[in-house]
Homo-oligomer: A and B are copies of this chain.
Amino acid sequence: MTNLWIAIPDSCLIESQTILDKSYKISQISRSCSIFCVKKIFIYHDNSTKAEKIDKKIMRTILEYLDTPPYLRKKIYPKMWILKHAGILPPIKSPHHKALIDIKNIKNEIRFGFVVKQNDSLYVDVGLQELIKYKGTQLGKKVLVKISYNGQLLAEDVAKEELDGYWGYDVKFADSLSALLENTNCEILMTSVEGRQFTKHVDNLMGNLKLSKNLLVVFGGPKFGLKKILEFENKKISQNHYFLNMFPNQGTQTVRLEEAILGTLSIVNNYLHT
């Protein structure tokens, strides 16, 4: 199973004027990542374009909010203006967005929860009728826990990597595109309208993915493509990376970032699951 990651620039939102517009755009990115089980979203600093600093925070907050199971959202996120429109965004319904079930029926289960303190003991709120005793240290954090029953219910930390299936995405920042590309252990697909034909190189890429477990798909910004963004870092597209055009013969002048993400992941997903 390949781990799918994407990288997007922190200049993503420069064309969106209002927090509503920005929310919609991020919501589309979140849905695409959830549909195709993307495990990491890297937001890299785009030196070519002056974006508002707050946009990074907006991106991270809304992406993480939407990945959070609905039963935890109100507990983790206080009222904040960034999430003003989060309520009207389409639901994600990832597998880890679990429904309320009767606590009596729980024997072994994995759930996201939020760690709280009561009477000097730590508990985790996993969206059920009662809090569950927590054997861990992450007070005030969102945690992924394994709940087991041994006379009483007990929750302990578990890492996504140890589990099968899809458990949502993590959002990470990178200081520059080249730093990200150099320090990440994966096959790299750089998407660009200037790139070579995808279908001619995909077999090669898929062959390499049998050795490397991770695929990072990189997207350019609303203003400049990946070539230009790297130029601003005095770097070039590396021969080791796949610099490919995912949208041959495109009919519109541009493909928007949120469209490029959904389209590219749709294409790649079919190759990863043949």
Spell out A's residues near B (CB within 8 Å). 24, 31-32, 34-37, 90, 92-95, 166, 197-200, 246-256, 259, 262-267, 269-271, 273-274
A90 close to B256 (CB less than 8 A): yes
A266 close to B269 (CB less than 8 A): no
Rounded to whole Å, the gap between the CB of A110 and the closest CB of chain B is: 16
A273 CA / B264 CA spacing, docked (Å): 15
B37 close to A256 (CB less than 8 A): no
Rounded to whole Å, the gap between the CB of A219 and the closest CB of chain B is: 14
> Which B residues are CB-close (under 8 A) to A200?
274
Contact pick for A35, options B94, B199, B252, B273, CB 8 Å: B252
Contact pick for A166, options B92, B251, B255, B265, CB 8 Å: B251
Rounded to whole Å, the gap between the CB of A144 and the closest CB of chain B is: 16
- Which residue of the partner chain B has the closest CB to A15? B90
> Which B residues are CB-close (under 8 A) to A254?
93
A252 close to B197 (CB less than 8 A): no
A35 close to B270 (CB less than 8 A): no
Rounded to whole Å, the gap between the CB of A212 and the closest CB of chain B is: 20
A174 CA / B111 CA spacing, docked (Å): 46
Contact pick for A266, options B251, B253, B266, B271, CB 8 Å: B266
- Which residue of the partner chain B has the closest CB to A263? B266
Contact pick for A94, options B31, B36, B166, B252, CB 8 Å: B252
A269 close to B248 (CB less than 8 A): yes
B250 close to A35 (CB less than 8 A): yes
> Which B residues are CB-close (under 8 A) to A252?
31, 34-35, 92-94
Contact pick for A247, options B24, B250, B263, B266, CB 8 Å: B266
> Which B residues are CB-close (under 8 A) to A198?
270
A247 close to B269 (CB less than 8 A): yes
Contacts A252-B93, A262-B262 given; indicate if A247 touches B35 (C-beta within 8 A).
Answer: yes
A264 CA / B255 CA spacing, docked (Å): 15
Contact pick for A259, options B35, B37, B246, CB 8 Å: B35
B256 close to A269 (CB less than 8 A): no
A262 close to B251 (CB less than 8 A): no
> Which B residues are CB-close (under 8 A) to A32?
259
Rounded to whole Å, the gap between the CB of A65 and the closest CB of chain B is: 16
